[in-house]
């Protein structure tokens, strides 16, 4: 047996719904596909107090549905043909009850115990397999009554929307009509209670216009259940015509007379088109999201990435030049700073030993020299450390605020390793040396003045020659002591200056090595950072290119899927264009 054409279209659309994660749409289509009812199902829906029960009772000429102040059932009531009146409560089990006791039975049933009510009546209208479904009144969207009504609409082949003639259609009713017309092949508006509304004709015209503006194609049937019942009691055909029910019954009869396979095909066509529209709207939103995610044109993004690469190359030249210049200046300034500090020490050394005797002042001088050299080296090192840190931050600033400077490999000033000052060989002017120098000086004085005084007849050794000898001895001792002091001062100066030079040469070399280590550390760090930024820009450029290609592929896939859904939409339209809602699908 060949499957009907509508079944293939419906199955293909159902697969598309499942593929796109729309389980709700797939469930609707699955219910249309698996529906096994033998005849047409017409649901009667409406908001509370609109005369829905009166409408159904008038259509069937039987008091089947609760009206007035009687409580309406919270579950659907399905009314079909039966040779004898019968009612069945369907819950966990099926329970038959007399039709006359139906209202009383429904009142005593606890909420949630029933799924539906089945009523059978011997009516010619129902003889073709027609089933009229009285639905619970629609109210709060979250209420079980509303959920039960919407569940009935998923299986309905046609719907009668009930609204009374006391006011125009409300926005909620228009929204309900649009939802019904989207998923159901046929919809009519039954305008009830025209017998109590003198201007019902104008109201009907306004309702037609409101439905048309909402995009809903639906006939409007003004009816009066009161007039219909009066006509039935009196057997007055003319009065029955004025009730409006003959036109509504004709429409119901047309729906019931249509072959069930044709009805199912129309229902499937409408459902497929509605599902296709929703899927396309979702896919179109995805296309819009692709467009928004892309932000700016991909060529612009590539140009921006290229400019960033060029800026990075220029920045590399700048920071390398800056680092080289600053390190060169630092080496020169550090050496000059240490030299200037040691010069101050040397000048103090000269002044100290120009005035003092190393024999007496050397211990105190040595302590002073060691402390001042340590201070000079420590100060010079701290200055180099601060300047190195400043250079590191100056170079890092060129990379941006989020990139900090590295830790610098400074090992310490090394003042603890400064050698002690070596004491010079200082010769003291001892007593024996002084006596020998005095005797040598006195000999010349005694001899010279003794010879002079001998001319006067005095002996060689006389008081004058002895006084001259003492004077010459004193001067010789004094002169020799002065020369020895100068030699000691010169030796001390030379030893101290030599020690200062040794410290300068040693720590000048060490501080230069420290600066070179700083240069290497900064060079390696910022070179690695530049390489990392270059790789990041390369990856970003590749991602832009790959993302653009992937976005194009996704866009093409989505567009192809939209075209496929549009084709399904057209196929569904070919199943029954006259009965399909005029909601066009834009591919």
Q: Is the pLDDT of residue 100 over 90?
A: no
Q: What confidence score (pLDDT) does residue 583 get?
A: 41
Percent of the chain clearing pLDDT 90 (strictly above): 18
| Paired sense of beta strands 186-192 and 116-121, if any | unpaired
Between 190-194, 251-255, 526-530, the lowest mean confidence (pLDDT) is in 526-530
Q: What is the pLDDT of residue 207?
A: 93
Residue that wins the pLDDT comparison between 472 and 83: 83
Q: What is the pLDDT of residues 272-319, one digit of tens each?
A: 888 888 888 888 887 777 666 554 456 666 666 677 767 767 777 887
Sheet holding 219-222, edge to edge: 94-97, 86-90, 116-121, 77-81, 131-134, 41-46, 158-164, 186-192, 219-222
Extents of the domains making up the chain? 41-257, 298-423+488-568
Closest to 116 measured CA to CA, from 138, 96, 90, 144: 90
**Which range, of 146-150, 240-244, 397-401, averages the lowest pLDDT?**
397-401
Q: Which string of b and e fits 424-441 if b means at least 16 CB within 10 Å?
A: bebeebeeeebeebbeeb
pLDDT band per the 50, 70, 90 thresholds, residue 160:
very high
C-alpha to C-alpha distance for 342 and 441, rounded to whole angstroms: 44
**Residue 489: its pLDDT value, please?**
74
3-state secondary structure of 382: helix
pLDDT in tens, 509-534: 888 888 888 888 888 888 887 887 77
Name the token pair of 240. Answer: 């029955």
Give the containing element (helix H, strand E) for 81: strand 77-81
> What is the model's pLDDT at position 582?
40
pLDDT at position 587 = 30
pTM of the model: 0.60
- The mean pLDDT of the chain is 80
**20, 25, 218, 560, 568 from 572: Cα distances, Å:** 19, 16, 20, 18, 6
Instruction: Give pLDDT, residue 313.
Output: 77
Contact criterion met (CB below 8 Å) for 385 and 511: no
The CATH superfamily assigned to 41-257 is P-loop containing nucleotide triphosphate hydrolases (3.40.50.300)
Residue 69 scores a pLDDT above 90: no
The answer to whether the Cα torsion of 455, 457, 462, 464 is positive or negative is negative
524/587 Cα distance (integer angstroms): 58
pLDDT tens by residue, 218-227:
999 999 999 9
């Amino acid at each position: 047996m060949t499957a009907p054409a509508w079944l293939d279209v419906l199955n293909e659309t159902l697969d598309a719904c499942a593929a796109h994660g729309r389980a709700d749409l797939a469930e609707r289509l699955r219910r249309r596909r698996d529906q096994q009812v033998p005849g047409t199902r017409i649901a009667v829906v409406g908001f509370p107090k609109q005369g829905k029960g009166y409408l159904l009772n008038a259509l069937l000429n039987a008091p089947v549905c609760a009206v007035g102040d009687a409580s309406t059932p919270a579950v659907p009531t399905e009314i079909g043909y039966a040779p004898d009146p019968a009612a069945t409560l369907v819950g966990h089990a099926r329970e038959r009850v007399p039709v006359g006791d139906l209202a009383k039975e429904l009142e005593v049933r606890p909420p949630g115990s029933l799924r539906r009510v089945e009523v059978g009546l011997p009516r010619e209208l129902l003889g073709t397999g027609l089933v009229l479904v009285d639905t619970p009144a629609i109210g709060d969207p979250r209420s079980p009554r509303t959920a039960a009504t919407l569940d009935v609409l998923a299986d309905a082949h046609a719907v009668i929307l009930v609204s009374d003639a006391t006011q125009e259609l409300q926005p909620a009713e228009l929204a309900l009509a649009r939802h019904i017309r989207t998923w159901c092949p046929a919809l009519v508006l039954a305008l009830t209670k025209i017998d109590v509304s003198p201007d019902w004709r104008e109201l009907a015209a306004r309702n037609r216009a409101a439905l048309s503006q909402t995009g809903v194609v639906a006939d409007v049937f003004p009816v009066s259940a009161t007039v219909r019942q009066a006509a039935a009691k009196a057997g007055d055909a003319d009065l029955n015509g004025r009730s409006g029910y003959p036109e509504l019954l004709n429409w119901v009869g047309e729906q019931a007379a249509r072959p069930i396979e044709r009805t199912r095909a129309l229902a499937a066509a409408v459902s497929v088109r509605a599902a296709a529209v929703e899927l396309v709207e979702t896919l179109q939103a995805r296309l819009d999201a692709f467009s928004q995610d892309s932000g700016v044109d991909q060529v612009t993004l590539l140009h921006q990435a290229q400019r960033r690469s060029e800026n990075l190359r220029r920045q590399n030249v700048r920071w390398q030049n800056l680092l080289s210049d600053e390190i060169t200046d630092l080496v020169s300034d550090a050496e000059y700073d240490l030299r200037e500090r040691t010069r101050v020490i040397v000048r103090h050394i000269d002044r100290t030993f120009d005035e003092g005797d190393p024999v007496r002042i050397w211990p105190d001088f040595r302590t002073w020299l060691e402390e001042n050299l340590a201070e000079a080296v420590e100060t010079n090192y701290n200055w180099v450390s601060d300047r190195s840190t400043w250079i590191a931050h100056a170079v890092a600033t060129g990379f941006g605020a989020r990139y900090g400077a590295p830790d610098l490999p400074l090992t310490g000033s090394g003042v603890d390793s400064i050698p002690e000052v070596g004491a010079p060989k200082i010769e003291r002017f001892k007593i024996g040396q002084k006596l020998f120098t005095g005797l040598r000086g006195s000999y010349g004085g005694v001899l010279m003045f003794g010879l002079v005084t001998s001319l006067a007849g005095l002996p060689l050794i006389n008081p004058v020659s002895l006084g001259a000898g003492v004077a010459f001895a004193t001067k010789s001792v004094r002169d020799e002591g002065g020369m020895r002091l100068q030699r000691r001062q010169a030796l001390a100066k030379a030893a101290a200056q030599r020690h200062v030079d040794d410290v300068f040469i040693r720590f000048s070399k060490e501080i230069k090595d420290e600066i070179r280590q700083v240069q290497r550390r900064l060079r390696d760090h910022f070179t690695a950072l530049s390489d990392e930024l270059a790789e990041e820009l390369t990856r970003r450029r590749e991602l832009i290119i790959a993302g653009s290609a992937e976005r194009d592929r996704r866009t093409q896939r989505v567009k192809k899927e939209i075209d496929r859904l549009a084709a399904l939409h057209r196929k569904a339209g070919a199943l029954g264009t006259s009965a399909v809602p005029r909601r066009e699908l834009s591919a």
